[in-house]
Amino acid sequence: MQITPLLAFEDNYIWVITSQQSNAVVIVDPGDADVVNHYLFQQKRRLLAILLTHHHGDHTQGAEELAAQHNARVYGHKNRIAAVSHPVNEGETITFNEVDLTITVWSTPGHTCDHLSYYSDHQDGLLFCGDTLFSAGCGRIFDGSALTLYQSLTRIAALPATTKLYPTHEYTLANLKFAAIAEPNNHAINNYRNNVEKLIAEQIPSLPTTVATELAVNPFLHNSDITLRRRAEIFCNHPINGDAEQFAVVRAWKDSLD
């Protein structure tokens, strides 16, 4: 099995899952049908299925067209996505034999109230996490809540350190700017930023990331860090009571700078 990013819009990645044993592909969050169709034509591939993490248009607006053109199945939450033909929920398992992949559906609300992620224990493990977690960051809170996003990120952080994480935006450098503000003495952040800058300069994606990397550089996973808590308290001008509140304050802190 191989996973390839297709760049859409300015910074979206459409993840393409392929296997040498067939010409079938599964794609994740096709915001742009033209990008996917160009890939399918160039690579002589056949679209088998689509996985959708949430309803925002930059993740879904190509799905209905692609499903109709290729007779592809569309998996996602039943709410707010007209293109979904196969509604799925927390804990359900989907197997795609043609690309050698079995995934488990995770409910990861917070960015939106019905956001889904897709986990597989293939090789060292992988998670298509949509806009829940970004490298060195996390999604904005739209119709979810800070508490549910905190819980979703805590669940992701508990995965094995080698698990590969596949967010759908190239936000890494922008996130690292805030991470360095939040944790100025975190040398892992500075080292990672140097590496990412080299990748971006060569037009190489910074993704996927890993749980180990995010545990080192992502301030939204450092919710029990006392030094970060003191800095967050300066921002909010009151004592922080517990890890979930710290997460909410750090998220608000980043929002104030965007």
At 258 the pLDDT is 87
In this structure, is the dihedral angle defined by the CA atoms of residues 121, 134, 87 and 19, taken in order, positive or negative? Answer: negative
42 burial (CB, 10 Å; 0-12 / 13-18 / 19+) is: exposed
Question: pTM for this structure?
Answer: 0.97
| Dist. CA 59–CA 107, nearest whole Å | 17
Token pair in block for residue 211: 């749980």
Q: Which residues contact 47 (CB under 8 A, 6 or more apart)?
A: 24, 25, 27, 36, 40, 66, 70, 72
| Dist. CA 78–CA 76, nearest whole Å | 6
For the chain, how are helix, strand and coil distributed in percent, rounded to 5? 40, 25, 35
At 96 the pLDDT is 97
Q: Could you state, in chain order, the average pLDDT of each consecutive group of 10 residues for the chain (258 residues)?
A: 96 97 97 98 98 98 98 95 97 97 98 98 95 98 97 98 98 98 98 98 97 98 98 98 98 96
List 73's β-bridge partners, or say none. 49
| Dist. CA 178–CA 169, nearest whole Å | 16
| Dist. CA 179–CA 181, nearest whole Å | 5
List 46's β-bridge partners, or say none. 24
At 160 the pLDDT is 98
CA angle at 239 for the pair 233 and 241, rounded to the nearest 5°: 110
* C-alpha gyration radius of the chain: 18
At 137 the pLDDT is 98
